[in-house]
Amino acid sequence: MAALNYATSYQQALDQVWPYVLNFGALYATPNNNRYRWTGAQTIQIPTISTRGRVDADRDTIGLAQRNYDNTWTPHTLVNFRKWSTLVHPMDIDETNFTTTIANITQVYNEEQKFPEMDAYTISKIYQEWVALGGIVNTTVPTETNVLELFNDLMLEMDNQRVPHTGRILYVTPRIRRMINMNKEIIKATETKNSSSVIHTDVTAIDLVQIVTVPPDLMGTVYDFTMGWVKGTTWEQINMMLIHPLAVITPVKYTFAQLDAPSAGSEGKWVYYEEAYEDVFVLKNKATAIQMNLE
């Protein structure tokens, strides 16, 4: 049986599931991902358009026409180059009643290894680039009493920078989500809104800002990706990240994903191998659309 290279179809399938299996899936659906262009195997160009402001008009004369915009392309090189492979003996597939098929193995690998690793990489890369671009971390200690005020402080920082209100997402740890649910002002608003005797204390949005709960071990500042993902030695807990998806770009390029049938070279085993370039970049002119609170 000939080797089957299904990198393209595999990428299309992953595009469909990422919004539902990645905690930061909404950032992988950012409209910015339709704006970049590939200029090589691992380099993208991101366009930026700037314009000049208006001036006074004159009914009696014609001003000198000139170009009042500029268009530049900023190159970004993807550095997160990852691979994974496995051997599967046909007898293992048969003796486990087809449990250990390549499809089942890769599904578990995706859900328990690759996707959490992508989440860890996403949050830590955003944090590191945001800080490098001048982002100032909020270090207020969240409590049930002040968590709503803290959220409003993060919102105010974005409002002051004219960040669009619609589309903002608040990523929080389960502990912070519980504080939001237990905040007296939010409970009071919920009780007022609900006409029935049933009170729904699980707050899913505040002021149209979607709230997404992320496991605490996937809300950190630095990770070691030597094999899989583990907390880095200087790891710190991120309590809250308020972000607009327009602040980032998340290119993913699968360059190879192939399944080889058993052969003499593989000593009778199926061989699966995949590799990919993927990365996360904060757009420097949109860095103000990110706010974080750290422990």
Q: Domain residue spans in the chain?
A: 4-47+71-294
Distance CA 16, CA 41 (A): 23
Q: How confident is the model at residue 119 (pLDDT cuts 50, 70, 90)?
A: very high
Confidence (pTM): 0.84
pLDDT digits (tens, 9 = 90+) for 185-197: 766 565 555 555 4
Distance CA 291, CA 240 (A): 8
- Is the per-residue pLDDT at 88 higher than 80? yes
Q: Packing angle between helix 174-182 and helix 184-193, nearest 10 degrees?
A: 60
Q: What is the pLDDT of residue 71?
A: 86
The CATH topology of domain 4-47+71-294 is phage-related protein like fold (3.90.1690)
Residue-averaged pLDDT of the chain = 86
Q: Which residues of 159-187 are buried (b: 16+ CB within 10 A; e: fewer)?
A: eeeebeeebbbbbbbeebbbbbbebeebe
